[in-house]
Every structure is written in structure tokens, then in C-alpha cells.
Structure 1
Amino acid sequence: MPDTYTLQVAGVTRELPICKINEHLSIAAFIMFSDVELTVACAQALLEKCPEFDVIVTAEAKGIPLAYEMSRQSGKLYIPARKGTKLYMSEPVVVEDQSITTAAKQTLVIDKKDLDAMNGKRILIVDDVISSGGSLHALEALVSRSTGKVVARAAVLAEGDAAERDDIVFLEKLPLFEH
């Protein structure tokens, strides 16, 4: 198996390291942190493919640079679901999810004031990569606590079987590496 996977997305080429998840599966690690060129290009390309929306929601960590840049380019609000309850949250709303890249269950938290900001709005759920859909499911569970309506789920990459889904917007497919 090669050490890297060549990805071309939004007019940008990157060599992604291939990382072993378990004895049967490896993934190409897609990391947007610190890659401003990639983040700006992917945000622009995704915005061109997404329907009209009012608010972007993402999970804390790898989706934040993309959601921020999509927010900056569109002028729309973005809300990150945090990985844990924070002291500033007066009324935290909590859900759990399981991700392919995280061994344990993850907790996602949004303060009620952020849910209130989603009320009656068109919500765009954004992540860097959609694989099993666990993070999407958790974000949708959080959004459902508001009166906002999810109008699309978007990611730069759809990994493995996610590329066959017709309910997500994505820029490129990312293969899984079975061994």
C-alpha cells in the first residue's frame, strides 16, 4: 500500500498520509488546519454547490476552519457544536456521536442561545469529511432542538460508501483502503 494518496479538490492538489485505523482499514488523513489555500478554495467551491441557507453548523475541531471560511465568504452566521460543556453555556444541550476517526463516543454541545439563533432559519450542516455519518446525525439531533430546518449537509470529501449517498453535497470522493 502506498504511503500517501494524491487528492485533487477545488483546484488544489495535496498528498494525504495514509493512516491505519485498524488491522483491516486505513484512511487518507485530510487535514485543513493551517492550510489556508485549501480551506479558501474548498469553501468557495462548496458555497457554489449549496442551496440558500441562513446559518452554518459544524462540529468542533476539523470542520471549524471550513465553516468559518464559508461564513466569511457568505456573510452568514456559523455555530460550532463544542466537544464538551463550557462554563459560558447557561443552558447546554448535549448529544453523543460516534466517528470513524475517534475510538470513544464524542459529546457535542450547543448552548440554548445558539439554538435560539437557529429558530426559523435554513441550516447548512458542514464538515470536512463525511464517512459514517455519525457526526452529521449528532449535528442534526442538535438542530432538531430548534425550529430551524436543515436544508443541506455539505463536506469537502465523502469517504467510502458516503460517496454513494444522495442526501449530501460534497466536492470529491475519498477512498477507504482495505487490507
Structure 2
Amino acid sequence: MKTYELKVGPLTRHLPILPISEDLAIASFVLLGDAELTDYAAQALAKRLPAEFDYFVTLESKGIPLAQELSRVTNHPQFVVLRKSMKDYMMAPLTIPVKAITTSAPQQLVLDGADADRLVAKKVVIVDDVISSGGSLRAAKALIEKAGATVVGQMAILAEGDAVDRPDIAFLAELPLFPL
């Protein structure tokens, strides 16, 4: 199997290159379970945060460990997770459709009504593991704004493909796309 050597600061990971369509492959980055990289990324991204914000918001599921660690290192005791499906315990959830590069089926992002109430008039920073086409990020921002919050920052460990040229995101390393 072909791999891509990813360097994030002093850390190196070898990512498998996997096809996601007839003409495109990605280097598969999975943050879940990588405590060393999560810790390093949170420390490095914390230095790039806006001066004032109230909450981190992340998307289920690979952004969760990063949001957890960023919350810890910046003394923000809570963060909000946008889920990919409605749960029975949610009260008055807000939803928005989303299309991401790594998912072929249509999805939605769901914000629990209790979390939406907490975000009203707050400043938030969206965090994720990888920003690529920007579809998930656009949907997350729209959902957060629907709840009455303001997005003051957007960051990820990696920017993939054309996302590396976006001036509105902060990231630690580039991840190329691989035409087939």
C-alpha cells in the first residue's frame, strides 16, 4: 500500500493513500487514538487563537479529541460537538445538510437545542482535524450562526488540497490530494 509521509512539527506519521472516487485519492488521516499528535496540535494551535472567544465547536467525530485538548490547555471548561445524526436526548435540535469530500452519502449536522441556547451571542472557534473542500466547515458555520453565535476563528491540524490557500483558516500542515 502506498503511503504519504506527514510531518506536523516534530512528529511524523505515515498515512495510507486511499481512493475516494474514480479519479481522486486522499492520505487517510485519523486523529482518534493519537494522543501524542493531539497534544502537540492543541499546544501549537492554541498559540494561533483569537484573543477573545467563548467556546470551541467541533464536528463529530475526529475533531473531538482536538477540541477536548484545546479546551484543557486554554482553560475553557466546555466545548460543543455538532453531531451527524439526531439523538433521542436532544431537545429542539437545529439541523443543516452537509456534503464532505470523504462521505459519499448526504449527511446533516445537528446542534442540540441546549447547546444552541448556550451559544447565543457567544464568540466561537470551529476546530476540526482536516479542512479540505470546506463543505463541513461552511455547514458548521451556518449552523452556529443559526444558533445566534459568531464564528471568530476556524482551525484544523491539516489543510488539504485547495484549502491551503484559504486566508480564513489556521492550520499546522498541508495534506495533498492525489489524482488517480
Structure 2 partner of 1:119: 120
Q: 1:10 to 1:120 in 2, by over 3 A?
A: farther
Give the Å deviation of 1:10.
3.1
Paired letter, 2:168: D
Structure 2 partner of 1:35: 34
Paired letter, 1:31: V
Alpha-carbon distance in 1 for matches of 2:96, 2:148: 17
Residue deviations 1:58-99, cap 9 Å, x none?
111111111111111112121001111111111111111000
Structure 1 partner of 2:157: 156
Structure 1 partner of 2:69: 69
Aligned pair 1:93/2:94, yes or no?
yes
1:155 is paired with a residue whose SS is strand
Structure 2 partner of 1:51: 50
Structure 1 partner of 2:17: 18
TM-score, structure 2 as length reference: 0.95
Give the Å deviation of 1:46.
0.8
Alpha-carbon distance in 1 for matches of 2:14, 2:157: 15
Give the Å deviation of 1:23.
2.0
RMSD: 1.1
Aligned residue-pair number: 178
Q: Identity of counterpart residues, as a percentage?
A: 49
Give the Å deviation of 1:144.
0.8
Alpha-carbon distance in 2 for matches of 1:73, 1:9: 19
Alpha-carbon distance in 2 for matches of 1:50, 1:162: 19
User: Structure 2: where are the runs of 5+ without partners?
Assistant: none
Alpha-carbon distance in 2 for matches of 1:91, 1:75: 29
Paired letter, 1:159: E
Residue deviations 1:132-172, cap 9 Å, x none?
10111111111112332100110000000000111111111
Alpha-carbon distance in 2 for matches of 1:64, 1:157: 15
Alpha-carbon distance in 1 for matches of 2:61, 2:88: 18
Paired letter, 2:91: S
User: Structure 1: where are the runs of 5+ without partners?
Assistant: none
1:96 is paired with a residue whose SS is strand
